[in-house]
Amino acid sequence: MIRNGEKAPEFTLPDHEGRERSLSDLLDGEALILYFYPADFTPGCTKEACDLRDLHTQILGAGLKVVGVSPQSPESHQRFREQYSLPFTLLSDERKAVIRAFDVDGPLGIGVRRATFLIDRGGVVRDSVLADLRIGRHLAFVENAVALARERVPAGRKPQGS
């Protein structure tokens, strides 16, 4: 897994609409919560996505954005977003190139490990969590990232992305 303090690898993947999105584009002026998950529509991944959906206003208000990555197709991601009213971008890594670059490929190349990274505007990983089946740890990680980001936004200044 990419370590805290390391530069996140640059990548380009299609989003849920089939548009190519790069890490540098996603970081345009905002820090990023980048999370990797095994599959659309599975119970654990659905819970994690809905937790992030429910925190989305707070995430944006803290000057952050959230993006999910899994190996399903853009079409699957679009259906997943629609069914659960997910307001954030989902990226399709069908060849698992980015999953491998972040070193979150499952054992023997099977599946994807559940991991969440906080990447600053400069592309450096500031914090991360790998908790596979402990989905609550990812929610706590994001809530902490939001709290820390809010502390850094000067009073009276509206954070970007809101």
Looking at the domain assignment, is residue 4 inside a domain?
no
Compute the average pLDDT of residues 16-29.
Answer: 95
Say if residues 117 and 128 touch (Cβ distance below 8 Å).
Answer: yes
Looking at the domain assignment, is residue 64 inside a domain?
yes
Looking at the domain assignment, is residue 87 inside a domain?
yes
Q: Please identify every residue annotated as catalytic.
A: 45
**Residue 74, domain CATH:** 3.40.30.10
* Spatial CB neighbours of 130, under 8 Å, sequence gap ≥ 6: 1, 104, 113, 114, 115
Compute the average pLDDT of residues 82-90.
Answer: 98
| H/E element, 128 | strand 125-130
The percent of residues above 90 in pLDDT, for the chain, comes to 80
Domain total of the chain: 1
Band (28; pLDDT cuts 50, 70, 90): confident
Looking at the domain assignment, is residue 2 inside a domain?
no
Looking at the domain assignment, is residue 159 inside a domain?
no
Domain that holds residue 86: 12-152
Q: Tell me phi and psi for residue 95, to 5 degrees.
A: -90, -5
Looking at the domain assignment, is residue 112 inside a domain?
yes
Looking at the domain assignment, is residue 3 inside a domain?
no
Distances in Å between the alpha carbon of 64 and those of 15, 61, 100, 111?
18, 7, 24, 28
Q: What is the mean pLDDT of the chain?
A: 91
- Would you call 106 exposed, middle or buried from its count of C-beta atoms within 10 A (0-12, 13-18, 19+)? middle
Compute the average pLDDT of residues 34-56.
Answer: 96
Looking at the domain assignment, is residue 56 inside a domain?
yes
